[in-house]
Structure 1
Amino acid sequence: DLLMDYALNVVRRLDALPVHTSIMYDLNIGPIKEHAKLFGQRMYKVKPAKREFILRYAACFGQFALLRRYYLSETDLPLKIFELADSYRYEQRGEIKGLARVRRFYMPDMHVIAKDLQEAMNEFINLYNVIIEEGAKFGWKYYSLYNITLDFLKDYFDFIKGLVKIDGKPVLLYIVEPNIYYWVINIEFHYIDSLGKPLETATVQIDIGNSKRFNIVYHSRDGSKKYPIIIHTAIHGSIERFMFEFLEEASKMQKNGLKPMLPVWLSPVQVRVIPVDKRHHKYSLNIVDKLESEGFRVDFDDRDITLSRKIKDAESEWVPYIVVIGDKEVREDILTVRVRNKGLVELEISDFIKMLNDSIKDFPRRPLYFSRYVSRRPIFT
């Protein structure tokens, strides 16, 4: 949910309009059938009453159906629409791999409607920059694959060189003949996992074919109807692959001798408060209340087990901040905090709240999804 919140916040800053569309489409409708042929055989099909439907493999069908019904004028463009689309692809059993390749996933899918190719290329550059910046924000270095038609490469070579300059490193080019696909350029951004293998995540492409296929038009200033250019983009790839990247970064940390962890904003439990003895429960719960009121995900280990076991369990759950409350903490009204990968610090609660806010910054926040009492949670074996 936090990753979904984050993806939505990014596209809101781009002034995209959120929409919600159906997951099922009639395969007998011409444009859908044509588009499905380009995708291939990996579709889930439903066949009620001698009709044939497919589950969407991306948000294109629904968003195009909306755009077809919009009265678009030239002054409305460029127009951005966005959907966090639950999508379905019938991957082969041997290809399914954790979060990296699944059959059902959530795709933060955005389309930009541009009046002509020049406007589309301007928007494309902006989105390219956003994708690079988003990867850099989390310390990820993407490697780009440019799928491009031969004609587009020849006609807009300077545009391509400009993109490579933004990337700041060599890119791979895969050149295809014109009119095979609906796009003229389709860039895939690949993340390198802990095993050194590439995984496609973010994408951005310029589509010159689907506006005509789906009869999407805009009204120009002279009153004539024209087919727009469509940009497809998923700035972070699917939510599942987005999460995969964070887990892979944790794996890389472990290989480098550090304790694996998620960013604080993404950690299911951000703070665990551990009392040394039952007489410290009241003070500890007061700390829990204060931290909860500040919007942090904090829980309380009230189990009747040893302190060392409680700390070990919190470490194994990748809790970034472990607060131990004993006689000294109660007497001096301070907190002793184990900061993951950094060690012990002593500080007042106001300073700890500042530390937490500094680590979370402007990333989205959500409350704890389960009981604050560790003793009340089910144990999975």
Structure 2
Amino acid sequence: MRILQLHSDFIVFKPIEKEINTAEEATKEEVRVEEVVVLFIAVEAGDNTALAQRAIDDARAFLGKLKANRLLIYPFAHLSSNLSEPSTAFAVIKDMEAYAKQKGIETFRAPFGWNKQFTISIKGHPLAEMARSYTPTPVTAPDVQVGGEGKKDEEPVSAALKAEDTMKSYWHILQTDGSLVPIEEFKFKGQSNLQKFANYEIKKTRAVTQMPPHVPLMKRLEIADYESGSDPGNIRWYPKGRMIKSLLEQYVSLRVAQYGGMEVETPLMYDFNHPSLASYLHRFPARQYVLKSEDKELFLRFAACFGQFLMAHDAQISYKQLPLKLFELTRYSFRREKSGEVVGLKRLRAFTMPDCHAFCADYKQAKAEFMERFDLSLDVLSNIGLVKDDYEIAIRFTKDFYTEHKEFIAALAQKFGKPMLAEVWNERFFYFALKWDLNFVDNQDKAAALSTDQIDVENAKRYEITYVDEKGEKQYPLILHCSPSGALERDIYALLEKAYREQITGKAPMLPLWLSPTQVRLIPLSDKFLDKVTELAQQITAKDIRVDIDDSSSTLQKKIREAEQEWIPYIIVVGEKELESGTLSVRIRETKGKQENLTTEELIDKVSKQITGKPFKPLPLPLYLSKRPAFHG
């Protein structure tokens, strides 16, 4: 059981819609509770009544310290990916409520199984925010041996990760003319998204306290879901989601190949005690998965750096071949993110990361390459469906680097055309001298990094990567680390969050047409038209457009409504009139269902123009809806 405990001035919540079929009955009325300790609770597999009572006893003791006696039990499933069955979870929640009331606590409970909207005001004292975790029986974590036989230690944490929590940052806004303005002096008028991003970065509060909108969307649209049989942060992908992810993989790989990246493949795991790797681990701010094989301690890679650097170490490189560009689409990279930060597709422990390294002779060459990759990254995201209004950029460097390369940094800012958040350090601790990362700001005013690039000034020497210069002498190159899209799972998170935001503003939420699992839905007016509609579907499919047919027994109105709920871009009802005239009445989602009369050839041309230049994959599910299983109940 996982509990987020918040001492609150008040909480206001309102049930919006049932999230599961077995949700309890509840009214959609707003509820306000004041001066209350809120328990956000995820019931996990194996939790029972005894555990529920233990949690309430702890909460009761906490209430005693506060001299308070009001408790709200709030079911909150996404604190864990190891959830119990809904019926068991509901029973445990009700046991907690009954036991709390039995102990004389004034107890409230939010309805189980509902997607709820809430607003909360948390008090400011040191004990106001606490996290609790309970297991039915004591569990002893396996020892992790690092750095010598028989040595028991905590989960290994890199020196860089520890430094990230303690090092002093100086925050500025980098303006488009290259000047730095201390953040407390900057006027954020017209820059509300940048202000939200700055607040998020400076506070470094990554824990999630409410369900992001993309989580119910990824489930309802049958894109992805949590996998209770795996470690948290490892996601199951349904056919629609796998197709979307595969198209992104193909698109980014194609763009990097056009840029000149040579695609390679490297191992998933590496020796913890390899001298170069061990040194690098402590310069990279990430937590590792650790495993043991025979006499070796191994870690799962969190980027493609390790394999590409070892490959470059063994290569014979001339200055004539620089910049040398190696690329890998890592499926998967692994990072042991904190459990309270793992949520939906935003922050995962296993993710797909396009990773392109460029080995450059000197700063002049590195800066030119850096600029080209900056353009590549912005263009890749734009074609995925994320434009400059959707994100903000953070750029990070030392004071000395800024002084030495001010014109270059100003050129980056001018190219972006919007102010950037700048994190400035007195001295360099990480392996990079300069880094930028592009961040999507979501509906909870939290951010997630997508594209990034870095100028690495350490690892060539660490891995003994050299090239032969004009004089025949060996030199160490600079290394650029770029992911032009960032983790592909995060791209999908950003697209779903963006669609939700557009829905709030009155637009029809949808995915980009080239990523929509079904691009055209055909609805026969009755079964007697099914054969002709199938012929029509085959005609459209032959032009690399994904078409399906709703042959279910539902009413016409329900079929149209369900197509809209699936975000189908083009919906066409086909009957006698359409077949005889050859003209189709097409409902276009982008224009909120506005109908347009098109011939089949005009429809094909309209769709094809919007997806030209993008990868194509066939329909990921059977043509007929009656043949499809329901992956999410």
**What TM-score results when the alignment is normalised by the length of structure 1?**
0.97
User: 1:324 aligned to 2:573?
Assistant: yes
User: 1:39 aligned to 2:284?
Assistant: yes
**Equivalents in 1 of 2:443, 2:542: separation in Å?**
38
User: Which residue, out of 421, 430, 440, partners 1:172?
Assistant: 421
User: Where does residue 265 of structure 1 map in the other structure?
Assistant: 514
| Counterpart code for 1:128 | F
**Equivalents in 2 of 1:132, 1:325: separation in Å?**
41
User: Where does residue 61 of structure 1 map in the other structure?
Assistant: 306
User: Where does residue 362 of structure 1 map in the other structure?
Assistant: 613
Identity of aligned residues (%): 35
Larger radius of gyration between Structure 1 and Structure 2: 2
Is the contact between residue 286 and residue 335 of structure 2 (CA under 8 Å) also seen in structure 1? Answer: no
User: 1:6 aligned to 2:251?
Assistant: yes
User: Where does residue 51 of structure 1 map in the other structure?
Assistant: 296
Deviation at 1:150, TM superposition (A): 2.3
1:11-30 correspondence runs (5 A): 11-30=256-275
| Counterpart code for 1:55 | L
Ranges in structure 2 where 5+ consecutive residues have no aligned partner: 1-245
Is the contact between residue 522 and residue 574 of structure 2 (CA under 8 Å) also seen in structure 1? Answer: yes
User: Where does residue 108 of structure 1 map in the other structure?
Assistant: 354
User: Where does residue 129 of structure 1 map in the other structure?
Assistant: 375
Q: Deviations over 1:107-130 (max 9, x none)?
A: 000001111111001111111222
Is the contact between residue 217 and residue 228 of structure 1 (CA under 8 Å) also seen in structure 2? Answer: yes
1:296-335 correspondence runs (5 A): 296-335=545-584
1:139-154 correspondence runs (5 A): 139-141=387-389, 142-154=391-403
Q: Deviations over 1:57-87 (max 9, x none)?
A: 0010011111111111111111111111110
| Counterpart code for 1:36 | L
User: Which residue, out of 319, 325, 336, partners 1:80?
Assistant: 325
**Equivalents in 2 of 1:132, 1:204: separation in Å?**
12
1:335-374 correspondence runs (5 A): 335-342=584-591, 343-374=594-625
**Equivalents in 1 of 2:437, 2:590: separation in Å?**
34
1:270-285 correspondence runs (5 A): 270-285=519-534
| Counterpart code for 2:449 | E
- Following TM superposition, the consecutive aligned residue runs of length 4 or more in structure 1 with deviations greater than 6 angstroms are none
Is the contact between residue 284 and residue 431 of structure 2 (CA under 8 Å) also seen in structure 1? Answer: no
| Counterpart code for 1:70 | A
SS in 1 for 2:440: strand
Q: Number of residues paired by the alignment?
A: 381
| Counterpart code for 1:69 | D
Cα 1:261–1:366 change in 2 (3 A) is same
User: 1:96 aligned to 2:342?
Assistant: yes
User: 1:202 aligned to 2:451?
Assistant: yes
Q: Deviations over 1:322-374 (max 9, x none)?
A: 11101101121221211114211111101000011122121211111111111
Cα 1:40–1:130 change in 2 (3 A) is closer
**Equivalents in 1 of 2:468, 2:427: separation in Å?**
28
Q: Deviations over 1:242-279 (max 9, x none)?
A: 11111112111111112211011000111111100111
**Equivalents in 2 of 1:48, 1:2: separation in Å?**
35
| Counterpart code for 1:39 | F
Deviation at 1:312, TM superposition (A): 1.3
Deviation at 1:179, TM superposition (A): 4.4
| Counterpart code for 2:418 | K
Is the contact between residue 2 and residue 365 of structure 1 (CA under 8 Å) also seen in structure 2? Answer: yes
**Equivalents in 1 of 2:314, 2:413: separation in Å?**
37
Deviation at 1:191, TM superposition (A): 1.5
**What TM-score results when the alignment is normalised by the length of structure 2?**
0.59
**Equivalents in 2 of 1:198, 1:91: separation in Å?**
15
Cα RMSD (Å) of the superposition?
A: 1.4
| Counterpart code for 2:269 | M
SS in 1 for 2:449: strand
